[in-house]
Amino acid sequence: MQTRAVRLYGKDDLRLETFELPEPREDEILAKVVSDSICMSSYKAAHQADTHKRVPRNISEKPVIIGHEFAGEIITVGKKWQDQFKPGDKFSIQPAINYEGGPAGLYSAPGYSYPYAGGDATYIIIPNEVMEKGCLLQYTGEGFYPASLSEPLSCVIGAMHANYHTHPGSYVHSMEIKQGGKMALLAGVGPMGLAAINYALHRDDRRPSLMVVTDINQERLDRAATLYTVEFAASRGIDLRYINTGGVEDPAAMLMEISGGTGYDDVFCFAPVAPVVEQADDILAFDGCLNFFAGPSKAPFKAPFNFYDVHYNQSHVVGTSGGNNDDMKEALVMLSAGLDPAGLVTHIGGLNAVIDTTLNLPSIPGGKKLIYTHIEMPLTAIADFAEKGKTSPVFARLADICAAHNGLWSVEAEKYLLAHANEL
């Protein structure tokens, strides 16, 4: 079968190509990709190429398909896996399979490491190790884009599960955010911050009593406050505050005041910026845990940390990079039950938009860029649908559908786009 895919050959060398897939083996699965959400990790991989941990060293001869936040439908199942999967099953993939025998060693992952498995493609072959590691996951909810966003959602799920606290006189680490504690999400209204807010508000097993979300961009804060309202948070027993720290002379002092002077039990840092890390350290409560979520693009990144507080106030620090299989399963269960991640999505495009979007991702404002791999469509902000609708009936209808969903993408919009994409 032929596929059309974006492949990485070297630093900033992405190519959209049509080529033949090999015949799937008895331990492999042939699948159709429907949607892929472009991640900053793909931007890093494209710029670092064969120096990236997950990218093989021989991509100039054996290019890899990029994109790791994808969802689709199984076409054929090799004999080995026919008791677990069947044609027509909808799926998502946990890309961090941690398989030592893969093309990039332990860090091998679909979307980084494989010549025939990645999200920015029309059809792919899912290798045996993905199923062996339990990383091919069924999705039973509506549409496809929620399953694409299960991977970023799993990252924030994993981050909250990875936080930990201790008890004086005991060496036992209690994993998880503190029940009824105080939480701060710094630089927290980017796509991953929004996912964290959404998850914290909707989980039933554990919630903070106070959740403070900061940023220096008022427009993004206002959008977050519209998507995840203070009123809804209150109905869940959470005092939610959106705070603009831009122009504030001493943001840490202001945040400490909001906490009642105690500081925050769980602080998540969503920007690899030294002053933000330092601010996170400054507002930790006794036995507080700082989760450094945002991955720096350069190895020498450093920031000051108060080791007096490590000794006397039991400050902790943890870093997470992606979720595990259980986090993905939790995400898919919540999504299948109706949790809507549409607030993360601000742009829609076709496979033809992947290269420019990936290479220039940091300079494109907004949240997640969602790609539908079987269509041709320039990357377009949802906010621009109405303007484009003046000359395009398809965009006009999409604008109406999104307007009916509070300006957000939806399963209804997805179905309409997939049915009418050839008219664009």
Q: Domains, the chain, ranges and CATH?
A: 2-149+341-350 (3.90.180.10), 162-319 (3.40.50.720)
- Read off the pLDDT of residues 267-319 as tens digits, 9 standing for 90 and up: 999 999 999 999 999 999 999 999 999 888 788 999 999 999 999 999 999 99
7 contact partners, CB below 8 Å, separation of at least 6? 14, 15, 17, 63, 64, 65, 66, 115
Give the model's confidence band at 153: pLDDT under 50 very low, under 70 low, under 90 confident, else very high.
very high
Q: Give the H/E segment covering residue 34.
A: strand 29-38
Q: What is the pLDDT of residue 243?
A: 98
Secondary structure (3-state) at 155: helix
pLDDT value for 5: 98
Mean pLDDT of all residues in 343-361:
98
3-state secondary structure of 238: coil
For the segment 89-106, the average pLDDT, to the nearest whole number, is 93
Mean pLDDT, range 74-91, rounded to an integer: 98
What is the number of other CB atoms lying within 10 angstroms of the CB of residue 423? 9
pLDDT at 354 over 80: yes
> Is 68 a residue whose pLDDT tops 80?
yes
Specify the pLDDT at position 21.
98
Structure tokens at 61: 């001869």
Is the confidence at residue 361, as pLDDT, over 80? yes
* Side chain identity at residue 199, one-letter code: Y
CA distance 196 to 65: 28
Question: What length does the chain have?
Answer: 424
What is residue 111's three-state secondary structure?
coil
Of the pLDDT bands very low, low, confident and very high (cuts 50, 70, 90), residue 58 is very high
pTM over 0.75: yes
The confidence score (pLDDT) of residue 309 equals 97
Query: Among residues of the chain, what percentage have pLDDT more than 90?
Result: 95
Q: Looking at residue 287, what is its pLDDT?
A: 97
pLDDT tier, 17 (very low <50, low <70, confident <90, very high otherwise) = very high
